[in-house]
Amino acid sequence: MVPLIDVKLLEMINDPETRDQGFRILVETYQKRVYGMVRKMVIIHDDANDVVQNTFIKAFKNIHQFNHKSTLFTWIYRIAVNESLNFLEKKKKRRFFSMEDHQEVMKAYVEESPLVDGNEIQRKLQQAILKLPEKQRLVFNLRYFEEIPYEDISKMTDTSVGGLKASYHHAVKKIEEILKQE
């Protein structure tokens, strides 16, 4: 069932006279949560802003493909997940910038940036999360920080609930091991 806010937003977006206003409300409604998830994946603020902007551009261009099988939030999050993973994949493929180099840049950013909130424990947790494979990091962030139910994450990532639970479990175990070593 589609929430009432989604129905109202879709009505506005589908009406040429209120399309821009409807989309502006959609962005205002979901931007902070989408940014939070994306930032946890790509770490660097400017990169996160670029990914979020691309997410909403894709949502705007493809709103007619929204099939009402999920909420708008879930649909937008799925776009953001894909954009985050695509962004990280592009970083890997660049010859002049290996993934290991990118991991080091992100680690340094977590250590030194005044934009990364938290005490020493929070920083160590963020550094441990950075060592996870991208998909495990995504599942961990969505479940642990965003508290999104597995069923919704399943729709976002097109992964079975069982697979997500296993991925989350492995992520938690890896994080525990990493934190024990420090």
Which pLDDT tens digit goes with each residue over 5-51? 888 999 999 999 999 999 999 999 999 999 999 998 888 899 999 99
No. of helices (H) and no. of strands (E), the chain: 9, 0
Give residue-wise pLDDT tens across range 98-131. Answer: 545 555 656 665 555 554 555 677 778 888 898 9
Q: Provide the number of structural domains found in the chain.
A: 1
How many whole angstroms separate alpha carbon 55 and alpha carbon 38?
Answer: 10
pLDDT value of residue 83: 96
As given in the structure block, the two tokens for residue 13 are 């977006």
CA-wise closest residue to 146 among 1, 16, 62, 30: 30
**What's the confidence (pLDDT) of residue 118?**
56
Average pLDDT, the chain: 86
Q: Is 98 or 75 the better-scoring residue by pLDDT?
A: 75
Q: Is 153 helix (H, G, I), strand (E, B) or coil?
A: helix
Above pLDDT 70, what percent of the chain?
A: 85
Asked if residues 50 and 63 have their Cβ atoms less than 8 Å apart, the reply is no
Q: Report the distance separating Cα 95 and Cα 40, nearest Å.
A: 24
Contact 78, 156 (CB under 8 A): yes
* Domain boundaries, position 46: 4-181
Is the predicted pLDDT of residue 97 greater than 60, yes or no? no
**Token pair for residue 85?**
């993973």
Q: Indicate whether 89 pLDDT > 90.
A: no
**For residue 75, what pLDDT is reported?**
94
User: What CATH number is attached to the domain comprising 57?
Assistant: 1.10.1740.10
CA dihedral 127, 92, 167, 54 (to 10 degrees): 90
Note the pLDDT of residue 100. 53
Identify the band that residue 95 occupies on the pLDDT scale cut at 50, 70 and 90. Answer: very low
Residues in the chain: 182
- pLDDT band, residue 3 (cuts 50/70/90): confident
Q: How far is Cα 28 from Cα 6, in angstroms, rounded to an integer?
A: 13
